[in-house]
Structure 1
């Protein structure tokens, strides 16, 4: 990539954008949970509150998925750093030359597994946030219908 600085810059912008999106979704889930919990405060536990509780549960899962995504992304970067150290012969626990290929192969496999886990959590974070929004809207609409006075 050093021969193509525009590729490095584009990759940096893409990574920054992904990070900002993950943190935006984390903030949205946190704010939504706080708002929904405020709306649920003082309500008796009933079937009528179930969609609201479902929304909070979905947002909690979304928040968890966002945190796990960050963790797996950091693990991927750390493994990538270790791989580069091994390739340049600079790793603190550099394997002997006859084992280096197997060690680097293992690290590549770890990078792939970590990256796949990060991707799964990335997708789940969004979908649980969206599901929480749908449940919250359904709860508020059902509550409005329940409060409509009977027609004369």
Structure 2
């Protein structure tokens, strides 16, 4: 595979990953808003624990999504510096280390973003089932 084709493929992968991260950020925000809107009645009931868990999980998902975006941005800055500003092999080695660290951190944040989003959804469904069964 030639370099130009590899670069285009990498750009498509990066674009797809960013869209997925932003989709989950939007979905988590919408879920928080919907859950707050659906919450009615006394807040201190035992069944509200599942609702609180869903809100906390979605908030964590949102936070990890923001962290993934920021880490990805840092990685792009380090990559730019590697190509434009790095003069010596020592500079490139240091930037390689930073790039690897940011890539790992961004990937980890993305995984946790998805996990917390799913946990929030499960908790919300549990809360709705408890609401409906106790009527």
Q: State the TM-score, normalized to the length of structure 2.
A: 0.93
Alignment match, 2:101: 113
Q: Distance in 2 between matches of 1:14 and 1:139?
A: 37
**2:130 matches 1:142:** yes
Structure 2 residues without counterparts, runs of 5 or longer: none
**Who is 1:132 aligned against?**
120
The corresponding residue for 2:72 is 73
Aligned to 1:28: 27
How big is each residue's C-alpha offset from its partner over 1:13-42, in whole Å with a ceiling of 9 and x where there is no partner?
A: 111111110000000000000000111255
Q: State the alpha-carbon separation in 2 of the partners of residues 107 and 124 from structure 1.
A: 26
What's the TM-score, normalizing by structure 1? Answer: 0.83
Q: Is the 8 A contact 1:69 1:121 kept in 2?
A: yes
Deviation readout 1:106-144 (Å, 9 max, x if unpaired): 111111111110010010000100000000000100111
In the aligned structure 1, how far is the partner of 2:80 from the partner of 2:3? 20
Q: Which runs of 5+ in 1 are unaligned?
A: 90-99, 148-152
Paired position in structure 2 for 1:83:
82
State the 4+ residue runs in structure 1 displaced beyond 3 angstroms: none
User: 1:58 matched to which residue of 2?
Assistant: 57
1:44 aligns to what SS in structure 2? coil
CA distance in 2, matches of 1:69, 1:13: 18
Q: 1:25–1:126: 8 Å Cα contact kept in structure 2?
A: yes
**Could you tell which deviates more after superposition, 131-140 or 32-41?**
32-41
**Count, aligned residues:** 135
